[in-house]
Amino acid sequence: MSVITCPSCHTPAPPGAIFCDNCGYDLRTVAPTGQQPLPPTQLAQKSDNGGIICPTCQYTNIAGSAFCENCGGQLSPVQPPPQKPAPPTPPPVAPEDQRTFVPAAPPKGPSETPADLQPVSSASPPAGIESIEGRLVIKDTNVVLMIPPGKKLIVMGREDPVSGIFPDIDLDPHNGHEAGVGRRHAQLVLQEGQVYVEDLDSVNGTAVNKQRLSSKQLHQLNDGDELRLGKMVMTYYAS
């Protein structure tokens, strides 16, 4: 298959990548070259959290990766996980004629029910949030990015006045270009009181807790989740 080899650090990248995952070099002017696939005996394996373990350097990559981010080796095909043992067979149930019959107690009348045991009506569940709130903390620099309040849709990317692109959270001042963040990379969406993240067909991908997301599909985002745009890693806090 064709790959792109970074002229700066010689790390392979998949066709269509704009920046090198290892050093951030601009790959848009680099022509793809051929690369031989891994022998059938070198199979990548899945980690406990769903990532892909490189058979060459044992580095754990995010799910869906085709090449190792550490050494550039091809990660497919993936070795299937081992089969789980069958659950134990429950003990046989005794026939009905051997069971011990226990008569049910007669129902108590209204006068026999203590006042403190009367059923209490449950309170109504709290209403869902009306707008996305919280903050994003960049892992490498600990920079805190507050989520603009009062919105149900938050676009994350890099500002480009020439193209008329002004995302709600601009990552360009935080090395977004070097990290491979697109101009309209992903967005936070509020739906039915829950916060979701959606990849906007980005070139370098979006991942939650090292799980790569499919483009244009909502994925629920919870407090403390790791959010990755390209090579930029952030933590989402709901408050």
H, E, C per residue of 17-85? CCECCCCCCECCCCCCEECCCCCCCCCEEECCCCCEECCCCCCEECECCCECCCCCCECCCEECCCCCC
103 or 157: which carries more pLDDT confidence? 157
The amino acid present at 91, given as its one-letter code, is P
Across the chain, mean pLDDT equals: 78
7 or 99: which carries more pLDDT confidence? 7
Three-state SS at 206: strand
State the pTM of this model: 0.48
Going by C-alpha positions, the residue among 152, 114, 107, 157 that lies closest to residue 133 is 152
- Residue 82, pLDDT > 50, answer yes
Least confident range from 69-83, 112-126, 207-221: namely 112-126
Residue range 178-196, pLDDT digits in tens:
999 999 999 999 998 899 9
Query: Residue 232 has what pLDDT?
Result: 96
Q: What is the DSSP letter of 116?
A: G
- E strands present in 107-213: 135-138, 144-146, 153-157, 169-170, 184-191, 194-199, 206-208, 211-212
Going by C-alpha positions, the residue among 84, 99, 88, 49 that lies closest to residue 208 is 49
- Residue 91, pLDDT > 90, answer no
Query: Residue 39 has what pLDDT?
Result: 47
d(CA 229, CA 214): 13
Taking the CA atoms of 187, 189, 194 and 198 in sequence, report the sign of the dihedral they define: negative
Residue range 39-76, pLDDT digits in tens:
444 566 777 777 788 877 788 878 777 777 777 777 66
Q: For the chain, list the domains and their CATH numbers.
A: 135-237 (2.60.200.20)
* Whether the Cβ atoms of residue 221 and residue 208 lie closer than 8 Å to each other: yes
